[in-house]
Structure 1
């Protein structure tokens, strides 16, 4: 059953772009502290991410990274005590971030279509901890603790588009610069909806970590 679901999901991803299952509506816990049109500032609680690093263009890397992560949550894992495996509920969004070899203090400004390395991540449901999450069977998948952080977010609709994500990253960066916010990392590209959601209604976001006031 899990294998059949994974195959169907992977086919949808390959055909129509990276997305999350429709029934997985839960989002990581956060508080909206400011809203200005399509832009929000949110405080996120600590998270645990299942991540994989892949190479290629943004679209190709997203598709390639999605599959091993889906495999992990659909049972491609081993319990900490070595007995059996678990299926893990999926939260939205699926996120994608350009990997960096050194710490960044401002967003990446190069084209999002030029390739390179990307981190694709699923955020784990809050009931799991590093001590209870099963171990990934695929060595490409790693579990990472993410501390509480403040994220500036710009929301927009439509289908997956490298150019659109880059455009919105520039728009969010300009807004944060204008309003005097200190940016602490590169843009995070977030996609919330499965491919069968009509394109005009799909939710996308670009997120950038900022310093707390």
Structure 2
């Protein structure tokens, strides 16, 4: 009886933590903080592996939901060997332009987003199971230096766009400059209370030349 009570209490505690935004035991990619520039943090990440999928959708939110569904299927067992892989944070979302195929003209493009789950650090590429869904691939993300702007609240398309714009504005002066297009990182499950959510606008940076 006591083990069951302890198990139930643990489940309730973890559930409550998820609701208020505490990410107990969730692995994140390791990084080194190189600098701080006002509200920004400049981080250096080593190379890492990710499961990713490219989603064409009518909106950022729709792409995020569909991409999350595909990737969650992979880590929860939709792979050769039916292996389960621990969930990590953050979930990454970056805009893409997708070339359309015939019968649409070759020059036409559609809005799309790459959704990415970073894999636990203990895995090598060879050790990761092969996804059942051909739309899910394993990618090696190279080492990179990133500027990160953290914010709370619901990360809808308009809110995320404002934070990406704020990130670029904060980089307009100072020792670091943007070296690509900004993208988004999301750390919390959808039921987390908005004030406790951790979201980040992110962009690759290089030192600004004098």
Fold equivalence (TM over 0.5): yes
- Indicate the residue corresponding to 1:31 in structure 2: 32
- Indicate the residue corresponding to 1:70 in structure 2: 72
What is the TM-score with the length of structure 2 in the denominator?
0.78
- Indicate the residue corresponding to 1:95 in structure 2: 92
Contact 2:175 2:207 in 1 (8 A): no
| 2:54 maps to 1:85 | no
- Indicate the residue corresponding to 1:168 in structure 2: 163
Where 1:206 maps in the other structure, the secondary structure is strand
Alignment root-mean-square deviation, CA: 2.1
C-alpha displacement at 1:25, in angstroms? 1.9
- Indicate the residue corresponding to 2:177 in structure 1: 182
Larger radius of gyration: 2
1:200-211 counterparts in 2 under 5 A?
200-211=195-206
How far, CA to CA, are the matches of 1:100 and 1:136 in structure 2?
A: 24
C-alpha displacement at 1:184, in angstroms? 2.1
| 2:152 maps to 1:157 | yes
How far, CA to CA, are the matches of 1:202 and 1:169 in structure 2?
A: 17
How far, CA to CA, are the matches of 2:169 and 2:44 in structure 1?
A: 20
Where 1:154 maps in the other structure, the secondary structure is strand
How far, CA to CA, are the matches of 1:125 and 1:188 in structure 2?
A: 21
Equivalences, count: 177
Contact 1:21 1:194 in 2 (8 A): no
- Indicate the residue corresponding to 2:55 in structure 1: 54
The 3 A distance-change label for structure 1 pair 202 and 169 is: same
How far, CA to CA, are the matches of 2:145 and 2:98 in structure 1?
A: 23
The 3 A distance-change label for structure 1 pair 92 and 200 is: same
How far, CA to CA, are the matches of 1:210 and 1:169 in structure 2?
A: 14
Which among 190, 193, 199 is matched to residue 195 of structure 1? 190
